[in-house]
């Protein structure tokens, strides 16, 4: 993967037509993980062939799981069963994927072997204590750096015990890791979260025939069960669709339909927040695919206004804030985000990096410890650095639709982790973007 990819986006334009963004990253990861542990053959269509999900796929191949890729965006997983994974003969390199690393910590906790997890420079800075500490309570030993970061060595324990764990911070990755460990634990494992987070793991476990118990904000699994293979149709990723939602909202004359987008209630914070800002968004042809709600999302340009983002929407839109910051920059008045400290420990410090980029393009943006205050204005054009963060690169590309001069975005190679072919798809929708 080249580190020298740069985007150059021409000012102005509008978005239109029908666009299908790649498959949901969260669901693609989980389809590999649960398919590998299931009995039988799991057939997945719409699989995201981004670098993050391919890192998960390769990790399970190294652990002896036969996975075929008969055609684009389709994988066929020959399940090894709950006890069928083999000792990896080398470290599992998870690249840039925090989801892969944190969920694998849980899944590997109950195995009869040890495994080493490594990643790129960005992933090796991301905090892992939040998942290591509760797994330690279940009986697994995890070696990490003195700062609690990768590389990690998971010393599997076949005698894990279930725990009741109250998460101090809402995190779907931590919740999922503990539920996966709970599949191997004696007794019941319950996880309580302070605010709702994406529930793809729970939905998919039920799809694979594993019972889940929910009581308010607590979800529980009983160890010792089995998974049965299934067919999975992965919906288009709302996190990737978010850039087009914002682009169409801010660019006058835009009218775009985003096809087969996952609209899971725990993921639609971006739609809710944009609507609060005055966006014109319709959900068409609502239906269910593989246990997940999906819809075609029509977005037309609208006059946006600043808002105070409701606290309950923050965990439902945590990955979409780079795009939402662009919307806020184009809105009339002030937009305030609080309670999003998690953004500082993503692929980059998304609060500081977005504030720096907005400032470089002429927007008044004041970072705070857990959010940002943005005063709507006019993009001047210029150059920004994405710091290797895929979502920041795509967000600033959409800013060009309202810029007075070209926008150049540096360090964009990691866009391939979640949205391979982004520049071409955005260009076909009307954004004047080139990769140089």
Q: At what angle do helices 98-109 and 129-138 cross, to 10 degrees?
A: 10
Q: If residue 85 lies in a helix (H) or strand (E), which one and from where to where?
A: none
What phi-psi label fits residue 424: left (phi over 0), alpha (psi between -120 and 50 degrees) or beta? alpha
Question: Quick check: helix, strand or coil at residue 29?
Answer: helix
By CB atoms closer than 10 A (0-12, 13-18, 19+), residue 38 is: buried
Partners of 23 in the β-ladder: 236
The count of other CB atoms within 10 Å of the CB of residue 53 is: 29
Q: For residue range 255-303, list pLDDT tens digits in order.
A: 999 999 999 999 999 999 999 999 999 999 999 987 899 999 999 999 9
Q: What is the pLDDT of residue 4?
A: 83
Spatial distance between the Cα atoms of 318 and 171, rounded to a whole number of angstroms: 10
Q: At what angle do helices 390-399 and 321-329 cross, to 10 degrees?
A: 20
Going by DSSP bridges, is the β-strand pair 188-192/164-166 parallel, antiparallel, or unpaired? Answer: parallel
Q: To 10 degrees, the CA torsion angle through 418, 12, 352, 144?
A: 10
Spatial distance between the Cα atoms of 183 and 240, rounded to a whole number of angstroms: 31
Q: For residue range 110-145, list pLDDT tens digits in order.
A: 999 999 999 999 999 999 999 999 999 999 999 999
What sign does the dihedral 55-386-322-302 (CA atoms) show? negative
Q: Is 255 a catalytic residue?
A: no
Q: What is the pLDDT of residue 290?
A: 77
Q: For residue range 193-206, list pLDDT tens digits in order.
A: 999 999 999 999 99
Q: What is the pLDDT of residue 2?
A: 45
Q: What is the pLDDT of residue 3?
A: 57
Q: For residue range 58-113, list pLDDT tens digits in order.
A: 999 999 999 999 999 999 999 999 999 999 999 999 999 999 999 999 999 999 99
The percentage of residues in the chain with a pLDDT greater than 90, rounded to a whole number, is: 97
Q: For residue range 305-349, list pLDDT tens digits in order.
A: 999 999 999 999 999 999 999 999 999 999 999 999 999 999 999
Domains annotated for the chain, with CATH where assigned, are 7-23+236-435 (3.65.10.10), 25-233 (3.65.10.10)
| Residue 121 per-residue DSSP state | T
Residue 345 C-beta-side C-alpha neighbours within 13 Å: 16
366, 372 Cβ separation under 8 angstroms: yes
Spatial distance between the Cα atoms of 1 and 359, rounded to a whole number of angstroms: 29
136-156: average pLDDT: 97
Angle 338-343-348 from CA coordinates, rounded to 5°:
150
Going by DSSP bridges, is the β-strand pair 433-435/407-410 parallel, antiparallel, or unpaired? Answer: unpaired
Question: Quick check: helix, strand or coil at residue 340?
Answer: coil
What phi-psi label fits residue 388: left (phi over 0), alpha (psi between -120 and 50 degrees) or beta? left
Q: How does DSSP assign 145-188, residue by residue?
A: -TTS-SSEEEE--TT-B--EEE-SS--HHHHHHHHHHHTTSBSE
> What strands lie across the sheet with 218-222, from one edge to the other?
164-166, 188-192, 218-222, 213-215
224-246: average pLDDT: 97
Select from 304, 244, 253, 252 the least CA-distant residue to 274: 304
Mean residue pLDDT of the chain comes to 97
Q: What is the pLDDT of residue 218?
A: 98
363-374: average pLDDT: 98
**How many residues are there in the chain?**
436
Which residue among the candidates 199, 319, 385, 411 is catalytic per the annotation?
319
What pTM value is reported for the model? Answer: 0.93
């Amino acid at each position: 993967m080249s580190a020298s990819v740069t985007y150059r986006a021409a000012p102005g334009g509008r978005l239109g037509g029908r666009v299908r963004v790649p498959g949901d990253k969260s669901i693609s990861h989980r389809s590999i993980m649960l398919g590998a542990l299931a009995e039988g053959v799991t057939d997945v269509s719409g699989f995201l062939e981004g670098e993050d999900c391919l890192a998960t796929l390769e990790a399970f191949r190294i652990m002896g799981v036969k996975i075929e890729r008969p055609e684009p965006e389709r994988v066929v997983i020959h399940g090894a069963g709950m006890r069928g994974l083999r000792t990896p003969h080398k470290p599992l390199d998870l690249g840039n994927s925090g989801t892969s690393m944190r969920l694998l910590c849980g899944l590997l906790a109950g195995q009869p072997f040890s495994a080493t997890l490594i990643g790129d420079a960005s992933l090796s800075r991301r905090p892992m204590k939040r998942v290591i500490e509760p797994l330690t309570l279940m009986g697994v030993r995890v070696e990490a750096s003195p700062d609690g970061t990768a590389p990690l060595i998971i010393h599997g324990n076949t005698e894990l015990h279930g725990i009741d764990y109250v998460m101090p911070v809402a995190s779907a990755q931590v919740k999922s890791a503990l539920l996966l460990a709970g599949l191997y634990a004696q007794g019941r494992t319950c996880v309580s979260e302070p605010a709702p987070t994406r529930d793809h793991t729970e939905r998919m476990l039920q799809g694979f025939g594993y019972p889940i118990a929910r009581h308010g904000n607590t979800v529980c699994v009983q160890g010792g069960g089995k998974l049965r293979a299934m067919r999975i149709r992965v919906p288009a990723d709302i996190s990737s669709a978010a850039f087009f939602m914002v682009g169409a909202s801010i660019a006058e004359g835009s009218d775009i339909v985003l096809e087969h987008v996952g609209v899971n209630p725990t993921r639609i914070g971006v739609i809710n927040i944009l609507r609060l800002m005055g966006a014109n968004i319709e959900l068409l042809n609502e239906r269910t695919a593989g246990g997940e709600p999906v819809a075609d999302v029509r977005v037309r340009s609208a006059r946006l206004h600043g808002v105070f983002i409701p606290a309950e929407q923050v965990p439902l839109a945590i990955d979409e804030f780079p795009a939402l910051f662009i919307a806020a920059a184009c809105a009339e008045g002030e937009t305030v985000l609080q309670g999003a400290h998690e953004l500082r420990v993503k692929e980059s410090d998304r609060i500081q990096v977005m504030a720096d980029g907005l400032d470089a393009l002429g927007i008044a943006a004041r970072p705070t410890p857990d959010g940002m205050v943005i005063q709507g204005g006019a993009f001047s054009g210029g150059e920004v650095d994405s710091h290797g963060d895929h979502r920041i690169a795509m967000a600033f590309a959409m800013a060009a639709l309202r810029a007075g001069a070209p926008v150049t975005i540096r360090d964009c190679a990691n866009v391939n982790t979640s949205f391979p072919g982004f520049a071409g798809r955005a260009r076909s929708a009307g954004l004047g973007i080139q990769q140089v």
